[in-house]
């Protein structure tokens, strides 16, 4: 299999459809983001047909105190592959992508992280043989195809949503530039104090919400929660063919505690995903949370979600670090 590496969106060919985390739009978003550099690996067979592709994100960190100069690479998920390729063959292609990554990086990295893999068994032996460190992680999702979202809600959350609506709270998708600007501003102010959950720049979020032609994207949507014509909550969702991903959400909980803006912001995204016939709704913010933030997972379970264990793989530049950490985590 022949593998090509692209670093500019202008050179990208037409790719097979797959996860939004490995889409051309996500590549373009990262390309315009400060401090990020995307790499798209595309695999072709002997006839020149695409077998799959994998998006890698590079970030750099430069700090004077404490002194840090490093770069790390992140892979979100196992990639996108042709629908007729079996799971076993997907692992083989992923292994070739992984070998290409190591050849390309030539150990010019601080560490590589592979996260958001749906099946924790995927490429387990491959990653272990290359001294990746497996760390336990969590997935939290809601099935939207078998029951109505209202049926899965906890009793307390049903009451909260009902009271908020009775008090005049409304929610909808932000469609005008003014609504999007105000919704992103609220989100930026909310995440400013969240050390463990970093929000991308406003420019990056705008590139996710709009296409290159300036139209609203069908791969990302921003929802706003209003009360008396004031925005008190917002949430941002990403979409692929069958799944909606809640990337960020916020609400003015302290100034409007009886209106439940945080709950309503997430509820707006869930109801829209169900209305548009998505099979699953997943909470991306749950991934890689530290132990003392696990209470946040318990809050999200009130929406009727299912908690599933998964793995987050890391590989450091220094072999001795990998050996020590593998003895701790394996």
pLDDT in tens, 252-276: 989 999 999 999 999 999 999 999 9
CA–CA separation, 237 vs 267, rounded Å? 12
The verdict on residue 317 lying in a domain is no
Residue 65's domain comprises: 2-130
pLDDT at 109: 66
What would the pLDDT profile of 119-143 be if each residue is shown by its tens digit?
A: 888 889 999 998 999 988 878 889 9
The verdict on residue 303 lying in a domain is yes
> What predicted TM-score, i.e. pTM, was given to this entire model?
0.84
Same domain for 44 and 182, yes or no, is: no
- Say if CB 77 and CB 21 are below 8 A apart: yes
pLDDT above 70: percentage of residues in the chain: 91
- Which phi and psi (to 5°) does residue 11 adopt? -95, -5
Same domain for 202 and 59, yes or no, is: no
The verdict on residue 25 lying in a domain is yes
| Helix, coil or strand: residue 117 | coil
Burial track 278-308 (b if 16+ CB lie within 10 A, e otherwise)? beebbbbbbbbbeeeeeeebeebebbbbeee
Same domain for 80 and 164, yes or no, is: no
The verdict on residue 301 lying in a domain is yes
pLDDT at 106: 57
pLDDT at 291: 47
Looking at 98, 130, 162, which one is the last position of a domain? 130
Same domain for 160 and 300, yes or no, is: yes
Q: What is the pLDDT averaged over residues 13-22?
A: 87
The verdict on residue 329 lying in a domain is no
Same domain for 113 and 249, yes or no, is: no
The verdict on residue 71 lying in a domain is yes
Domain containing residue 223: CATH number: 3.40.630.30
- Greatest mean pLDDT among 93-97, 110-114, 214-218, 314-318 lies in 93-97
Pairing of strands 80-81, 50-63: antiparallel
pLDDT at 268: 96
Same domain for 289 and 157, yes or no, is: yes
Residue by residue, DSSP assigns 229-255 as TEEEEEEEEEE-SSEEEEEEEEE-TTT
Same domain for 13 and 116, yes or no, is: yes
The verdict on residue 280 lying in a domain is yes
Q: CA 306 → CA 27, 140, 213, 314, distances in Å?
A: 30, 5, 38, 25
Q: How many domains does the chain have?
A: 2
- Greatest mean pLDDT among 12-16, 229-233, 286-290 lies in 229-233
Same domain for 284 and 233, yes or no, is: yes
pLDDT at 24: 87
Same domain for 115 and 178, yes or no, is: no
Residue 287 has pLDDT above 80, yes or no: no
The verdict on residue 330 lying in a domain is no
Residue by residue, DSSP assigns 261-326 as HHHHHHHHHHHHHHHTT-SEEEEGGGTT--GGGTHHHHHHGGGT-EEEEEEEEEEESSHHHHHHHH
Residue by residue, DSSP assigns 134-154 as EEEEEEEEEE-SSS-HHHHS-
Residue 72 corresponds to which tokens in the numbers above?
């790390």
Q: What is the pLDDT averaged over residues 217-229?
A: 93
Residue 106 corresponds to which tokens in the numbers above?
């030539």
What would the pLDDT profile of 61-99 be if each residue is shown by its tens digit?
A: 655 544 455 678 889 888 999 988 988 899 999 999 998
- Say if CB 284 and CB 245 are below 8 A apart: yes
Same domain for 195 and 303, yes or no, is: yes
Same domain for 56 and 146, yes or no, is: no
Same domain for 165 and 293, yes or no, is: yes
């Amino acid at each position: 299999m022949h593998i090509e590496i692209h670093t500019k969106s202008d050179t990208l060919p037409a790719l097979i459809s797959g996860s939004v985390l490995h889409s051309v739009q996500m590549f373009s978003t990262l390309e315009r983001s400060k401090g990020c550099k995307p790499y798209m690996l595309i695999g072709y067979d002997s006839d020149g047909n695409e077998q799959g592709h994998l998006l890698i994100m590079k970030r750099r960190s430069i700090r004077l105190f404490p002194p840090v100069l490093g770069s790390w690479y992140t892979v979100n998920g196992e990639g996108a592959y042709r629908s007729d390729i079996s799971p076993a063959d997907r692992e083989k292609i992923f292994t070739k992508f992984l070998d290409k990554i190591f050849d390309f990086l030539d150990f010019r990295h601080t560490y590589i992280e592979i996260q958001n893999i749906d099946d924790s068994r995927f490429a387990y032996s491959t990653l272990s043989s290359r001294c990746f460190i497996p760390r336990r992680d969590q997935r939290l999702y809601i099935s939207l195809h078998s029951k109505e979202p209202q049926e899965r809600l906890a009793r307390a959350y049903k009451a909260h949503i009902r009271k908020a609506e009775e008090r005049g709270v409304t929610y909808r998708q932000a469609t005008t530039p003014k609504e999007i600007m105000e919704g992103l501003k609220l989100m930026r102010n909310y995440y400013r104090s969240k050390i463990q959950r970093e929000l991308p720049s406003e420019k990056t979020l705008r590139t996710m919400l709009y296409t290159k032609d300036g139209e609203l994207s069908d791969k990302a949507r921003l929802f706003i929660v209003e009360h008396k014509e004031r925005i008190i909550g917002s949430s941002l969702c990403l979409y692929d063919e069958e799944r909606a991903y809640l990337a960020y959400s916020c609400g003015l909980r302290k100034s409007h505690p009886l209106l439940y803006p945080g709950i309503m912001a997430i509820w707006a995204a869930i109801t829209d995903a169900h209305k548009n016939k998505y099979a699953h709704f997943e909470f991306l913010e749950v991934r890689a949370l530290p132990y003392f933030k696990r209470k946040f997972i318990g809050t999200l379970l009130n929406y009727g979600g299912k908690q599933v264990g998964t793995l987050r793989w890391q590989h450091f530049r220094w072999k001795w670090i990998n050996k020590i950490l593998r003895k701790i985590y394996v």
